[in-house]
Amino acid sequence: MIEEGDEEMKKSETKMKYIDNGMIKAMRMVACCLLFFALAGNVFAQSDNLYVIKKTYYNGTGGEHYLAHVKVGDNYVLQDATTFSPDCLWYSGREINLSGTNHNYYFIDDANQYRFLSAPLTAGGELLLSDSKPEVYLLNNTDQNYYFYDWDYDNWPEGAGVARGHQYNGVTAETCVAEWKYEQCWEVYWVECDGSNWGLSSAYSYDITPNAGRFRFVQDHYYPMEITSNQGGLDDLVGFEMEFPDNTVHSLSASITPFYYIPAFKKYEFDEVTTPGNSPTTTHHTYYYPDDGSSNENPPTSAQAVSSGDPAQWSYEWTISGEGAEYLSFSDEGTTYVHTSSLASPTLYYRTENNTGHKTATLTLTVTYDGDSRQTTSATVTVKTRCQNPQFSADVTYEGVTVSWTATDDSYTVSWKKSDATEWSSQEVNNDNSYTITGLEYSTTYDYKVKASCTSDDPQSLQFTTLHQP
């Protein structure tokens, strides 16, 4: 027989399980929503990628033909390029067209404006550059411009540049070259190069044409100018010590000897199938473009000499940093940063006395060349406390008592005794800021002190108590 209390407990457990299940479901829904928004944010925040649109090689023949955008006068035109250059690069992705897998192809002109690739809906139509995004939508009967779709009939890497046109419903095999799913047929034209001119194919076809262009994903990487460290450059700064008061000009000077550098450049690379079929051959293309506008199939490795001197386009920055910086400045007003157009050394002041122990600051000189690359050199400045006994403390453990102090000198005497004793035990310590006392008795109070060797003042002692015997 079930007792009344047991029955109530079972009801309570059932209710609790119900609440738990409801909470779990709610948490799952929240997690799913968060995951969805996280993924969506990932997609929409993703930057568009770079591509080239290049006529396909067939069995290694056909030459190189890129669809390039070139500025002629005050406007941009489409041209056939027989060699790769940055003018052949197009952006594509979801930044501009967020629907479906259809991507517009565009570039950003020197006025920071978008220029889109489009074409009229007609066989053999002329490729155009549009100042606004073409009004194109996936599976829309009112498409008026061609755009590029991530699809490749032969399954080659990166697909092909293909223009997609009208959708036809209710088609049959007799009225459509290749029937699409759901009884839809697409009028498909290929972006072609006939050897010197780019345009759309004269008739729509689902089979890739010999002159068709394919888009290839391009990876790019920027390499800043690199100054070689073993062939000149900045002289090293020499570290020094400062004692208060000290308002003299210190040896902060640094000179620039002739140095060598590798110019800044961009690297572009992409893969291209040069022999189609069941066993395609892939060719990897790599191009290097230094900032001076030249091009090379090899990275710029030969160092170029830069003469010494003080060019007007170079800038010099002096900074003071670190825990000791609060006591130093480049002026009476407390400035810890100086930016100049010459290499002249600033005056370094010890403007506020440091009475808490020696501290270090870092003096750094940064030279910026042509606004592009930097080279730095630095020195350590010891901000000294004038001769005085240090601040000290004790850390009590079973292994011993470690006495530590702030640096005010190079040599110290550590002394200790039982509080009721009269005789002190002592140990001289050089070039260190701590000492561990051992051999002490358990549960005993001791006096201790630390004296700097540079002063005759006797420091006031402190106390510690050792631990109980374990």
**Domain check: are 239 and 345 in the same one?**
yes
- CATH code assigned at 445: 2.60.40.10
Residue where a domain stops, chosen among 220, 248, 276: 220
Domain annotation covers residue 415:
yes
**Domain check: are 340 and 411 in the same one?**
no
Q: What is the pLDDT of residue 23?
A: 37
**Domain check: are 239 and 339 in the same one?**
yes
Residue 423 sits at the vertex; the CA angle it makes with 420 and 424, to the nearest 5 degrees, is: 105
**Where is average pLDDT lowest: 139-153, 269-283, 404-418, 426-440?**
139-153
- CA nearest neighbour of 103 among 62, 163, 63: 163
Q: Which range, 104-118, 125-139, 336-350, 442-456, is most confident?
A: 442-456
**Domain check: are 367 and 254 in the same one?**
yes
What pTM was computed for the model? 0.53
Domain annotation covers residue 461:
yes
Domain annotation covers residue 287:
no
Percent of the chain with pLDDT over 90: 27
- CATH code assigned at 92: 2.80.10.50
**Domain check: are 439 and 308 in the same one?**
no
**Domain check: are 324 and 401 in the same one?**
no
Domain annotation covers residue 207:
yes
**Domain check: are 324 and 418 in the same one?**
no
Residue where a domain stops, chosen among 354, 383, 412: 383
Q: pLDDT for 314-324, tens place per residue?
A: 788 889 999 99
Percent of the chain with pLDDT over 70: 64
Q: Which residue has the tokens 């090379």?
A: 296
**Domain check: are 75 and 130 in the same one?**
yes
Q: What is the pLDDT of residue 141?
A: 38
Q: Which of the four pLDDT bands, split at 50, 70 and 90, describes residue 389?
A: very high
**Domain check: are 206 and 85 in the same one?**
yes
Q: What is the pLDDT of residue 334?
A: 76
Structural domain count, the chain: 3
Domain annotation covers residue 4:
no
Q: pLDDT for 294-332, tens place per residue?
A: 777 778 765 555 544 445 667 888 899 999 999 988 876
Is cis: bond before 263, omega within 30 of 0?
no
The answer to whether the CB of 176 falls within 8 A of the CB of 159 is no
- CATH code assigned at 356: 2.60.40
Q: Which of the four pLDDT bands, split at 50, 70 and 90, describes residue 223?
A: confident
Residue where a domain stops, chosen among 220, 247, 282: 220
**Domain check: are 337 and 451 in the same one?**
no
**Where is average pLDDT lowest: 69-78, 179-188, 431-440?**
179-188
Q: What is the pLDDT of residue 167?
A: 54
**Domain check: are 118 and 202 in the same one?**
yes
State the virtual CA torsion across 195, 200, 201, 202 in degrees, nearest 10: -110
Name beta bridge partners: 309.
Answer: none
Could you tell me how many helices (H) and strands (E) the chain has, helices first? 1, 34
- CA nearest neighbour of 101 among 56, 155, 159: 159
**Domain check: are 408 and 327 in the same one?**
no
Domain annotation covers residue 225:
no
The answer to whether the CB of 265 falls within 8 A of the CB of 289 is yes
Q: Domain range for residue 257?
A: 233-263+303-383
Domain annotation covers residue 2:
no
Domain annotation covers residue 35:
no
